[in-house]
Structure 1
């Protein structure tokens, strides 16, 4: 297999879903994009359910549970210009495109992302970069989307260089699935584009230890050698990592590959994602069980997105001691 699978029939032909399931999934594909890279298709065959659940569509995606929200993160009210989200005083998101190497079935942006790319035009990108230059309160730029590492090295390098040249921008951050989902994109050209004279953090999204394949390990070594600080973000997901053993293995795998666990996200209540939901109390209990079993280096912040765009709140240390209280501070 040499290309990304994008339709139910292609998933059937690759042996990833049963032929009888294809017709029921056409309606899902019409609403939410499908993408399974060759690397992930191979891993689904090898590791099974914890990987398959993340990427293979299910009919339940068309059912919206009562607690689910059409826009769980409420980006729109905090969008001063196309491609920018400014929710916190000192940092803002830049979304240069809306394409990803894979489309996670639990993603809170599933309605927006897709193969058409949502790429900012040259004029839109210039306007967004000008906004950062003209907004001195912003000290950190977080590139997300979509997946910024889907950009060509030339385009990504130009964006990063332009941001790094703004005096008040102190740090840059990229959030990406590419290092584990499509590690072949970590080419010498990409590494050159990511080599900056400015602190650059790469937040690697991985949810299961099996995602750290030999190919992913090679890409992560290259990124680390290029001077990037590697952080890990994960989503707590039913059937993927909702056990003490799975979380411990995930955090240990991150550390083995020079990735510091940073965020463990409570699932955002996007439409059609109820099958992945793990209650907060259960998440806190899992982390309590790992206290003392894993090094503090392996300890992420357990965070939950608040309604109406209020941002992430840590599910705090009071919860680790037995309650489910939240620390009242944005992170």
Structure 2
């Protein structure tokens, strides 16, 4: 099945009602649409947890004052084009702005969606920066989605990174194995043959995203000696219940993927309808204890707005403020930041409601 890349495609395939389309035109104009064939096949109803991740909504036009086009501060830490150097020992290389799907909660929605990749000259300049900074031990490929590149381009990039003697680890953040498993060819897997330790971080948010083809592709990566971790986003109406998270993490481990991070939803523009409260996220994490063995439980984290980095949502870093929905978050350097939930109604009763969803 071909990818749906417009409102017209979504209407033609019964994923959007024709009467809804005019109201959604401004949404399409602000953030493009792309829904892969695999994910179209995974959608059971127009409002199920898979559909909600990819079908545009007029709620995206509701932009809150605290939402930003660069919610995690990539630009603040960009020494050369395409590179983010936030932590001393690792850098993010944004090799492309293209994805196989465009998630409606994307924290880089202001940056991704354009066709095109970093040029060879831009990649060389970025890796020159890495090579003269020996404290950098890991290069993280992201975008967009780095696995939209051809196996030939990926192989060339892996070889260039592997030639930097001070780099030990290559990490790839991607949705491709679940949303476009047809790309998981032998040529793609073999492109990662290198002296480096290779880690693939799979982005997936609901068990229904995993097809037989996805499972086969992930197992092929595992057989090639690639470490498989996951990154999920806690999303209201998608996976904000104990049964949904439990089945997601069990499905991941069945595919050889270790649940690694559960992200609190970022302050990207127009995504407040996806955001849960921090207290509800904490309640869900408490509820998973005892239900799941240790290897199945990820770390619940938040990326602090403004480029201050990622921290676990634990009492060491996140403390409730004076009123419900207000939080004080300490970054990895010791700085303290204020955060406010989108809907400040969480109290002991709503936390109990979350726990009773099991």
Match of 1:239 among 237, 254, 259: 237
Partner of 2:291: 293
Match of 1:164 among 152, 162, 165: 162
Cα separation, 2, equivalents of 1:128 and 1:250: 36
Cα separation, 2, equivalents of 1:74 and 1:125: 21
1:254 to 2:252 alignment: yes
Partner of 2:173: 175
SS of 1:172's equivalent in the other structure is strand
SS of 1:312's equivalent in the other structure is strand
1:205 to 2:203 alignment: yes
SS of 1:264's equivalent in the other structure is strand
Cα offset, 1:21, TM superposition? 1.1
Cα separation, 2, equivalents of 1:316 and 1:196: 37
Partner of 1:53: 52
Match of 1:229 among 223, 227, 230: 227
Match of 1:329 among 310, 332, 335: 332
Partner of 2:28: 29
C-alpha spacing 1:11/1:271, structure 2 compared with 1 (3 Å): same
SS of 1:308's equivalent in the other structure is coil
Partner of 2:110: 111
Cα offset, 1:4, TM superposition? 1.2
SS of 2:196's equivalent in the other structure is coil
Using the size of structure 1 for normalisation, the TM-score is 0.95
Cα offset, 1:196, TM superposition? 2.1
| Residues 316 and 325 in structure 1, CA contact (< 8 A), matched pair in contact too | no
Unaligned runs of 5+ in 2: 322-326, 334-358
Deviations 1:196-225 (A, max 9, x none): 222100000000011111111011011111
| Residues 308 and 331 in structure 2, CA contact (< 8 A), matched pair in contact too | no
Q: CA RMSD in A?
A: 2.0
Deviations 1:277-326 (A, max 9, x none): 10011000011011111000011111101122000011126699x99886
Partner of 2:100: 101
Partner of 2:282: 284
> What is the total number of aligned residue pairs between the two structures?
328
Cα separation, 2, equivalents of 1:91 and 1:318: 24
Unaligned runs of 5+ in 1: none
| Structure-to-structure mapping, 1:69-108, within 5 angstroms | 69-108=68-107
Match of 2:128 among 127, 130, 142: 130
| Residues 34 and 57 in structure 1, CA contact (< 8 A), matched pair in contact too | yes
Cα offset, 1:253, TM superposition? 0.8
Deviations 1:226-254 (A, max 9, x none): 11100010000000000011111111111
Cα separation, 2, equivalents of 1:271 and 1:318: 29
Using the size of structure 2 for normalisation, the TM-score is 0.88
The structure with the greater share of residues assigned to helix is 1
1:20 to 2:19 alignment: yes
C-alpha spacing 1:105/1:304, structure 2 compared with 1 (3 Å): same
| Residues 33 and 113 in structure 1, CA contact (< 8 A), matched pair in contact too | no
Cα separation, 2, equivalents of 1:230 and 1:143: 15
